[in-house]
């Protein structure tokens, strides 16, 4: 097993021993082997959706725990194929993307229409597929930041996917259109029995204010998460919060003093718990993203994110570039280290 405390270094005590005094853990709907019977059985999802959710829970090294570990590889569109795959050219071949997810013990693999459809008959029965429906492509010049539908929900169903994913850039001028598109797509996905996963991101240049990037503020990401849950996302993907007070700093929107005085603190676990609370207190699962690859620090950063997510009450981690922009054995090691956090009895709920 991974030496979690060693990888956390000087933060080990702060992250592993902290006890939340904000939202009580007893009031959360927590991940577990019985999550579908205990939590999801109360909502309006069809038996087909519940079965596919259980399929995700039953796969990989985390099978039977109620936690999730995904490999997402949509960066060939979002960041360009060259920028994404040149560090390890084997991943220009979609087969190797899926093989990494399998060898890495993931619950599922998320990727583009082209990637998954090109290998669907070979792999859709071997690991759960999640089709990412929309993307922000980067070939347009001057650059624009908008999510465009690349695939139809029916295409995901026809190739055997158990889930669909999509991104909304909350806070952007295009967000109202994206909200409508993805609301309709998620309703259709549920009709066809698939799980829905929302990349619930923020994008607005005003959210970078006086040298601080509030795209990763707990209060702003929390509201984006709340809207994702409102759109009936079964799982919400969000960046780990790094600061707080975005509403106050930017000077817009609506908030409350208790958000900062009682419902959050400076501890990273408390900032992430505010995200979980906005997932309807955990009725929708929170998975945090692993972020870009920085090289030697990737393993420690991935483990840190997993520890914060688990202790806050989250459901897992989705990590792509940190895993596939290195040799496969090192990518597998990183994915397994993330999973070790969720398998460890020593990493408890705060």
* Residue positions annotated with a catalytic role: 237
Q: Which residue bears the tokens 């725990």?
A: 65
Nearest-5° Cα angle at 31, 29 to 33:
120
Cβ contacts of 45-49, under 8 Å, gap ≥ 24: 45/190, 45/234, 46/190, 46/191, 46/193, 48/192, 48/193, 48/194, 49/190, 49/193, 49/194, 49/195, 49/234
Residues making up the chain, counted from first to last: 350
Question: Which residue reads 């999730």 in tokens?
Answer: 68
Could you give the CA distance from residue 225 to residue 218 in angstroms, rounded to a whole number? Answer: 10
**Residue 163 structure tokens:** 């889930």
| 130 touches 175 (CB < 8 A) | no
């Amino acid at each position: 097993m991974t030496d979690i405390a060693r990888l956390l270094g000087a933060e080990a005590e702060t992250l592993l021993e902290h006890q939340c005094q904000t939202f009580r853990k007893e009031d959360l709907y927590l991940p577990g082997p019985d999550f579908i019977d205990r939590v999801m059985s109360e909502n309006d999802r069809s038996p087909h959706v519940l079965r596919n959710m259980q399929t995700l829970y039953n796969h990989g090294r985390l099978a039977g725990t109620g936690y999730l570990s995904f490999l997402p590889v949509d960066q060939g569109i979002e960041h360009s194929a060259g920028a994404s795959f040149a560090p390890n050219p084997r991943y220009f071949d979609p087969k190797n993307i899926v093989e990494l997810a399998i060898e890495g013990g993931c619950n599922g693999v998320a990727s583009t229409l082209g990637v998954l459809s090109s290998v669907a008959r070979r792999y859709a029965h071997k690991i759960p597929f999640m089709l990412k429906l929309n993307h922000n492509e980067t070939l347009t010049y001057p650059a624009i930041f908008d999510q465009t539908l690349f695939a139809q929900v029916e295409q995901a169903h026809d190739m055997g996917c158990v889930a669909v994913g999509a991104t909304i850039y909350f806070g952007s001028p295009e967000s109202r259109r994206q909200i409508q598109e993805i609301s309709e797509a998620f309703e259709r996905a549920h009709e066809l029995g698939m799980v829905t996963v929302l990349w619930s991101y923020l994008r607005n240049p005003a959210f970078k204010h006086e040298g601080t990037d509030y795209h990763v503020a707990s209060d702003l990401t929390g509201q984006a998460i709340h809207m994702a849950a409102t759109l009936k996302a079964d799982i919400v993907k969000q960046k780990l919060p790094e600061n707080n007070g975005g509403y106050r700093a930017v000077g817009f929107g609506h908030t409350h003093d208790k958000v900062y005085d009682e419902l959050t603190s400076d501890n990273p676990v408390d900032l992430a718990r505010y995200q979980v609370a906005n997932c309807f207190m955990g009725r929708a699962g929170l998975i945090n993203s692993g972020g870009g690859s920085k090289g030697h620090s990737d393993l420690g950063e991935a483990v840190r994110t997993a520890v914060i997510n688990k202790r806050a009450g989250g459901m897992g981690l989705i990590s792509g570039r940190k895993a596939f922009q290195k040799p496969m054995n090192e990518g597998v090691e990183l994915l397994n280290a993330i999973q070790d956090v969720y398998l460890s009895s020593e990493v408890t709920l705060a």
